Chain A
Amino acid sequence: MAENVRPRVKAPRQASAGETVTIKTLISHPMESGQRKDSDGNTIPRSIIHRFTCEFNGEMVVDVTMEPAISTNPYFEFEAVVPEAGDFKFTWYDDDGDVYEDTQSVAMA
């Protein structure tokens, strides 16, 4: 189990119908690539977040498959359309089976 995993999301709290909003997400995670060795020469096993999804009211915005070449503390920035008031749901899937979630409500301006 990865420790101190904390998702952070920056999305507007208000938008008008059909507006394009920019979303930034960051999650603290070591993203151990499986390439590094410890001081005894043993390979440190891979432990990364391998998938990230963003949905709005159940409709997909972006679905990212990640490999070990994604940096520590994976960061994503993308744009979404907000057709109505609702919730953005962000989900990160860890190699060890953990799922980290965050939601952000958007109200109509």
Chain B
Amino acid sequence: MTMTRRNVMVMGAGAFVALGLPMQASAAAEDAISEFTGGADVASEGVTLTAPEIAENGNTVPIEIDAPGAEAVLILAMGNPTPGVAQFNFGPLAASQSASTRIRLAGTQDVVAVARMKDGSFAQASSNIKVTIGGCGG
């Protein structure tokens, strides 16, 4: 195939659409992370997010976070209509910086936990959860 100007234009537009859509979907989640971290570097070690690999019912997906030394943990569902899930702030009487709860997921997606440590550093963990039936009604 010869690369005519028209071909290049069509391919470029296709690539833009293919790349652009998923980026837009998670833009709100990225904003939420940068708002929480203030743009600081985020380490990949230091926080554990335990979640099932496959969740049959997106209405109640059990998750567990464990972030030793954290003062706050933000949980985001990257593929939900609104990415925010919860923020845990641990007080002086918290025995461990861990907690578990149940969340709603609209579909198969990544769930991200970002922890703010007492020394001001940040750590992040993510887990991909496959959802059979989405949990956002409709």
Binding site for B on A (CB under 8 A): 20-21, 33, 35-37, 55-56, 59-72, 74-81, 83
Contact among B81, B85, B93, B103 for A80, CB-based, below 8 A: B93
Given contacts A37-B138, A63-B88, A81-B95, 17 further A-B contacts (CB under 8 A): A33-B137, A55-B91, A61-B90, A61-B93, A62-B88, A64-B101, A66-B86, A69-B84, A69-B86, A70-B86, A71-B59, A71-B60, A71-B61, A72-B59, A74-B102, A77-B101, A80-B94
Sort chain B's interface into a size bin: 20 to 34
Question: CA of A74 to CA of B102 in the docked complex: distance in angstroms?
Answer: 7
By a CB distance below 8 angstroms, the chain B residues around A80 are: 93-95
- Given A69-B85, A71-B60: A83 and B93 interface contact (C-beta under 8 Å): yes
Chain B, range 74-127, C-beta contacts under 8 Å to A: 77, 80-82, 84-96, 98-105
Question: CA of A56 to CA of B101 in the docked complex: distance in angstroms?
Answer: 21
Interface mask (B37-62 → A, CB under 8 Å = 1, otherwise 0): 00000000000000000000001110
